[in-house]
């Protein structure tokens, strides 16, 4: 499991059960296992569990170095191990959802990525949610690596999944109930590598973050163009925002701010981005810092693995979770 999680692998949070999922790991030349993992962080004694065995393991033997990278699948039809980045989120009532398969498959990089969304059931099996190759309007509009997605509960009978590829891409809107997708806005280089995206209720916008920059899609305007509001103030001095290691980020409704973490130093500080008024008005950088009585300091995050959803906020637990890696303990920052 260590190799799978340290290879640009993302996770999702189920707030209703206090469960953190790694829905799909591995990828490229790092690790071929496609097994999901989960841990209930609200339990008295949280423990990792492997939801099902990986392809090629006990009861399902076969060759995983099979040259079928372009399909995104293994010989048994299961999803191929892939660097998942921020291409997954949790949809209430549905489970973990993967918005697109970035192209860094085990054992090779394939471009373009597969423009397909999948849901993961409670047994860890993947089910096709939407094939949006047609909406994607050609391979040039989606990239092989990185990318991000966000769940929007306000559009569609069961909500909308917004998906964005790395670099020059279209914004894709997936209607979860209908299983259909629509390309929105113009082809543009909205964000560079290691981006993250969050739907912000009340403001009805998508917030995209990359290397300390902020882009806002004003969904209520229905033109899907992105604007870059001015930023004031300062992040934590420990926040790593200038390299390719994907930082963790989340929207905290109780605090009404975006929170970011991937600190090589000052590891008891969480950086924040707070809107002042509307989406395009200045946003303020800041930070949260633990009590001086705190005696626990998380380890530095691997520079070759990033966080990608392994840092987030739980409304039910009233605090932030941090999963640096499977050889390390999960950590928790309480807000109360």
CATH number at residue 144: 2.120.10.30
DSSP 133: H
| C-alpha to C-alpha distances, 261 to 35, 164, 246, nearest whole angstrom | 26, 21, 10
User: The sheet that has 205-210: what strands, in order across it?
Assistant: 196-200, 205-210, 213-218, 226-227
- Split into its structural domains, the chain has a count of 1
SS3 letters across 193-206: CCCEEEEECCCCEE
Q: Which residue has the tokens 């009404």?
A: 256
Rounded-to-integer distance, Cα 120 and Cα 100, Å: 13
129 phi and psi, to 5 degrees?
-100, -40
Cis before 173? omega within 30: no
Two structure tokens written together for 147: 């990318």
CA-wise closest residue to 6 among 34, 31, 36, 41: 31
Residue 137: what pLDDT? 63
Q: Are 87 and 148 in contact (CB under 8 A)?
A: yes
Two structure tokens written together for 159: 């909500």
Instruction: Estimate the share of the chain in helix, then strand, then coil, as percent rounded to the nearest 5.
Output: 5, 40, 55
Residue 178: what pLDDT? 96
Rounded-to-integer distance, Cα 57 and Cα 255, Å: 44
Residue 3: what pLDDT? 47
Residue 86: what pLDDT? 92
Residue 138: what pLDDT? 55
The domain in which residue 166 lies consists of 2-334
pLDDT per residue of the chain (336 residues) written in tens, 0 to 9? 444 566 788 999 999 999 999 999 888 888 898 999 999 998 888 889 999 999 988 777 788 888 999 899 999 999 999 999 999 999 999 999 999 998 889 888 887 778 899 999 999 999 999 998 877 665 455 677 788 999 999 999 999 999 988 777 788 999 999 999 998 887 776 665 557 899 999 999 999 988 778 999 999 888 888 889 999 999 999 988 655 557 899 999 999 999 999 888 999 999 999 999 888 899 999 999 999 999 999 988 876 778 889 999 999 999 999 988 766 788 999 998
Q: Are 240 and 262 in contact (CB under 8 A)?
A: yes
Residue 190: what pLDDT? 64
C-alpha distance across the termini of the chain, in Å:
32
pTM over 0.75: yes
Angle ∠(96,102,108) on CA atoms, nearest 5: 130
């Amino acid at each position: 499991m260590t190799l799978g999680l340290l290879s640009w692998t993302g996770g999702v949070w189920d707030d209703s059960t206090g469960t953190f999922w790694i829905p799909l790991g591995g990828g490229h030349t790092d690790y071929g296992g496609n097994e999901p993992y989960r841990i209930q962080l609200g339990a008295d004694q949280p423990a990792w569990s492997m939801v099902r065995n990986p392809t090629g393991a006990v009861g399902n033997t076969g060759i995983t170095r099979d040259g079928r990278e372009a399909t995104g699948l293994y010989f048994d039809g299961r999803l191929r191990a892939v660097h998942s980045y921020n291409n997954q989120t949790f949809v209430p009532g549905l489970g973990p959802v993967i918005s697109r398969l970035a192209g860094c498959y085990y054992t090779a990089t394939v471009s373009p990525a597969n423009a397909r969304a999948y849901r993961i059931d409670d047994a860890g099996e993947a089910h096709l949610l939407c094939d949006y190759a047609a909406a994607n309007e050609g391979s040039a509009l989606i990239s092989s690596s990185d990318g991000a997605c966000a769940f929007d509960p306000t559009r569609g009978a069961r909500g909308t999944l917004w998906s964005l590829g790395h670099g020059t891409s279209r914004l894709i809107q997936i209607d979860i109930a209908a299983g259909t997708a629509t390309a929105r806005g113009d082809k543009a280089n909205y964000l560079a590598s290691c981006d993250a995206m969050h739907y912000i209720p009340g403001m009805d916008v998508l917030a995209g973050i990359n290397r300390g920059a902020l882009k806002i899609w004003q969904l209520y305007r229905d033109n899907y163009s992105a604007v870059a509001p001015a930023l004031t103030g300062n992040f934590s001095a420990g926040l790593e925002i200038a390299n390719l290691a994907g930082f963790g980020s989340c929207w905290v409704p109780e605090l009404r701010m975006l929170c970011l973490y991937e600190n090589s130093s000052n590891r008891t500080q969480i950086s924040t981005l707070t809107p002042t008024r509307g989406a395009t008005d200045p946003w303020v950088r800041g930070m949260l810092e633990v009590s001086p009585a705190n005696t626990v300091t998380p380890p530095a995050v691997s520079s070759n693995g990033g966080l990608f959803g392994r840092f987030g906020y739980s409304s039910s637990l009233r605090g932030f979770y941090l999963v640096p890696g499977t050889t390390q303990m999960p950590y928790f920052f309480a807000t109360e």
